[in-house]
Structure 1
Amino acid sequence: MIEPAPIQLDPAFANVWDELQYRGSVHVSTDAEALRELLGGESITYYCGFDPTAPSLHLGNLAQLIVMRRLQLAGHRPLALVGGSTGLIGDPKPTSERQLNERETVAEWVEYLGAQMLRFLSAEGDNAVQLVNNLDWTAPLSTVDFLREVGKHFRVGTMLKKDAVAARMESDEGISYAEFSYQVLQGMDFLELHRRYGCMMQTGGSDQWGNLTAGTELIRKAEGVHAHAIGTPLITDADGRKFGKSEGNAVWLDANLTTPYAMYQFWLNQDDAIVVQLLKSFTFLTSERIDELARSVADAPFRREAQRELAVQATSFIHGAAATQQAIDASQALFGSGDLAALDEPTLAAALASLDKQATATPDAPVLQLLQETGLVDSLSDGRRAIAQGGVSVNNERIDDPAATLEGRLLHDRFAVLRRGKKTLAGIDTA
């Protein structure tokens, strides 16, 4: 397997701000020159917030966590905020009102997300990550105090101009007061973290820019201090679609929701047009190595070298080298010369779930019948011919008898890989 790169900054850049720029991690920001000076100087405290609207973080969140890790590697101190209160309200979407989750559910997800964030940010050293929950300072706050101390600094006209709010105001559904107030709550988070920890910078997706600047403006008005914000680009596929839960194409960081095998295949199948940018955003490879891979994409795209490197680096960062190796072994066993029997049950199950052709069957189902049911052949007579020609196998063992069944051939007493030819496969599950 390709060795995972060390989690460190690129020595080609003297200032982490320059590395963030190279990696395309800054789509919009407050004063760029001031930020470069700030990040090139003594350690500062910064934060990024994650709302518990699902039981796992996803790929868009990972982009933020990697930016946070790079800043931490530069000596700055991260605050990882989980929105125990903002998660009860929901950031307004441009299209429709969010469904409110039960308080107990949100509290459970707060725990899940906090544990996930600690996988990607270091909890050691002078600038160890600190988890914070905005429910700690919003729960004790009365409505009157909230309006007097925070609400008085916000102007409704400015709030109405925020992109998501403006879009909802033009829709038939409109926007509730709860979601309209979300930007006030997020602005209060920044102010509270500034007061408690001296936090001077917030990062977030560029689609959150209105919420990010709500915080910088609140700190300026309440404290007379110029804090900063960085908005990262949205992560999109080759067609420009955003990867995310709300888009229905989320890639989850929880192995139970997106398996390491599925994660590996996700990166492996990325388009040439975006693979170099993904290498910059989601790996700790040096700019020198990324430039080498960019040349490979241009000169020998058929080799898929950049995609293979991306798959190893990103999957290893998310799930570890051992799980990544299992994913590679599964891929080779399905499509190369690897040993299917050596795969553990979860990895094999994930690999079969990724196949286009799948079927459920009894443990004694006829192979010939399954060939037709899965669409590997058009008819039973086609299946007999394929078997007679030696082109059919079950779990990489050739089938010679057209009356053969799955009995005695299953892996983990459950699974079978039915193959016609070299690369036409179907997954069979007898559970």
Structure 2
Amino acid sequence: MTSLSTAELLAAQRNDPSFDDIWSEIVYRGLVHVSTDEVALKELLAGAPITYYCGFDPTAESLHLGNLVQLLLMRRLQLAGHRPLGLVGGSTGLIGDPRPTAERTLKSREQTAEWVQKIRVHVEKFLSAEGENGLTVVNNLDWTEPLSAIEFLRDIGKNFRVNTMLKKDAVSARLNSDAGISYTEFSYQILQGLDFRELYRSYGCVLQTGGSDQWGNLTSGTELIRRTEGVAVHAIGTPLITNSDGTKFGKSEGNAIWLDAALTSPYAFYQFWLNTDDADVIGRLKVFTFLTRAEIEELGVQVAERPFAREAQKRLAFEVTALVHGTEAAQAAIDASAALFGQGSLADLPTDVVEAAVAELPNAIVDSTTTVGQALVATGLVASLGAAKRAAAEGGVYVNNERVSDESTAIASLALASGHAILRRGKKTLAGVTVSAG
């Protein structure tokens, strides 16, 4: 397999030519949950190039899977010839988009500025800067910070109606809670509306995209432009991706799946997609890959006729991991998955991949005197030393894919050079240990 970086993958991306226009494709892919005038949008996107934008606030040091939905929608529009603006929220990040439950903790200016730069790198990674419709990245702090409080209230605030602002979902939820809402967060929608107007005035931007939970903020901009410029502009709200059982997508035990490899390793990222439920996998392929409609339909047949083969999940995991981390990292994750179950050498894997695999498994830190039996107990693969002895005697215990019949063997003698060891009981039950150097 040829190793391709994310930049090379970017250059190879194409929209599906089987669709009559880009609007039809993004609707097919489930990327439109709510929008302004659909007929007008379809016509607009089929015509001459327009300028559009999506905003990303630095609420963390990395973007996550929910943000990837927006980046891929932006990329599809760019591939259709339209001009993207990626907005990083240097000012809105200082304020905080209201959450439905509680007030955000305000970050320092220094931390916000640092995170803005990290978010900018993510945005630039997924959109091309080449050609007449190359990406332009903007920071809303550039036009917000010079505004005085009087200018903000007179020139911007007067165009917003409090009764309309109160109806926004996040605002109404907070008003009905014990936490209430501060004037700071209440004003967030005005700032986002100001962003759209500034980009309309400076770049001719006529479309904003965002999650459907941001719809109130998106329409703040369309309404401000209508009032002050006398022009109709547009917004598209993508659906909030959820699993078929209704649980929130992209959360694992309360932790987001990050796009930054330092926060979510490529191995863990790959495993997340590989574990996609059959009921969700075709929808994920539509949203998160550039596979054609024909390719996705063929994988749908595979899910229906041979679900045990998990071909759709494997293709999904590879495509998205390659998109975010490059094909080399995706292939390393595949190799690691195979090696964990005895279909390759763990010793041939890069140390960071082995570390990532151990981190994703039930694991324990042990010392050089720990036996295999004690390691099995420490990781929860067996309940007792007696059970460990029986499992080893029956031939069901493996360390780094080597069968171990004597549970009293020191685990350190079987560990990889990095000090890691993968324990396996039977064919599929895995755990990891790290032998402490101390």
Class of the TM-score when normalised by the shorter of the 2 chains: over 0.9
Q: Which moved more, 1:115-124 or 1:60-69?
A: 115-124
> Secondary structure of 2:357's partner?
helix
Pairs within 5 Å for 1:203-242: 203-242=209-248
Q: Cα distance, 1:247 vs. partner?
A: 9.5
Seen in structure 2, the aligned counterparts of structure 1 residues 2 and 388 have a Cα distance that, compared at 3 Å, is farther
Q: 1:278-293 counterparts in 2 under 5 A?
A: 278-293=284-299
Does residue 142 (structure 1) correspond to residue 148 (structure 2)? The answer is: yes
- AA partner of residue 398 (structure 1): R
Residue of 414, 422, 426 corresponding to 2:427? 422
**Equivalent in 235, 254, 278 of residue 272 of structure 1:** 278
What does residue 168 of structure 1 align with? 174
Identical positions, percent: 63
**Are 2:396 and 1:372 aligned?**
no
Count residues with an aligned counterpart: 430
Map 1:91-102 onto structure 2 (within 5 A).
91-102=97-108
Return the offset for 1:124: 0.9
Report the secondary structure of 2:31's partner residue: coil
Letter aligned with residue 226 of structure 2? R
C-alpha change, 1:200 and 1:215, in structure 2 (3 Å) is same
Deviation of residue 13 (structure 1)?
A: 1.1
Q: In structure 2, how many angstroms separate the alpha carbons of the residues matched to 1:319 and 1:352?
A: 20
Counterpart residue type for residue 412 of structure 1: A
TM-score (norm 2): 0.95
Instruction: List structure 1 segments (4+ residues) > 4 angstroms apart after TM superposition.
Output: 1-6, 244-247
Aligned to 2:71: 65
Residue 192 (structure 1) aligned to one of 190, 198, 207: 198
1:317/1:347 CA distance change after superposition, 3 Å: same
Q: Which amino acid aligns with 1:379?
A: S
Q: Secondary structure at the match of 2:72?
A: helix
CA shift digits 1:249-275 (9 cap, x unpaired):
411000011111111110110111111
Q: CA deviation at 1:369?
A: 1.8
- The equivalent of 2:364 in structure 1 is 359
CA distance in 1, matches of 2:280, 2:194: 37
Look up the SS of the partner of 1:418 in the other structure. Answer: strand
Between the aligned partners of 1:170 and 1:393, the Cα distance in structure 2 is: 56
The amino acid that maps onto 1:25 is: L
CA distances 1:312-360 after superposition (whole Å, capped 9, x unpaired) = 11111111100000000110011241110011111101111111x3111
Deviation digits for residues 133-159 of structure 1 (CA, Å, limit 9, x no counterpart): 000000111111111111111111111
For structure 1, the residue ranges without an aligned partner over 5 or more in a row are none
- Structure 1, 368-377 or 331-340: larger mean CA deviation: 368-377
Unaligned runs of 5+ in 2: none
Q: Which residue of 1 aligns with 2:160?
A: 154
Q: RMSD of aligned C-alpha atoms?
A: 1.8
Partner SS, residue 55 of structure 2: strand
How far is 1:160 from its partner? 0.8
* 1:106-145 matched pairs, under 5 angstroms: 106-145=112-151
Deviation of 1:424 after TM superposition, in Å, equals 2.0
What is the 5 A alignment of 1:288-327?
A: 288-327=294-333
Q: Is the 8 Å Cα contact of residues 2 and 309 (structure 1) preserved in structure 2?
A: no
What residue is the counterpart of 2:59 in the other structure? 53
Give 1:10 shift: 0.2
Q: Distance in 1 between matches of 2:354 and 2:340?
A: 9
Cα offset for 1:246? 12
SS in 2 for 1:278: helix
| Contact 2:375 2:411 (C-alpha < 8 Å) held by counterparts | no
Amino acid at match of 2:223: E
**Structure 1 residue 426, shift from structure 2 partner:** 1.5
Q: Shift in Å at residue 244 of structure 1?
A: 6.1
Q: Which stretch of the first structure deviates more once superposed, 320-329 or 389-398?
A: 389-398
Partner deviation per Cα, 1:14-71 (whole Å, 9 max, x = no partner): 3111100100100000011110111001111000000000000000000000000000
Moved more, 295-304 or 102-111: 295-304
Secondary structure (helix, strand or coil) at the match of 2:412 reads coil
C-alpha distance in structure 2 between counterparts of 1:139 and 1:46, whole Å: 23
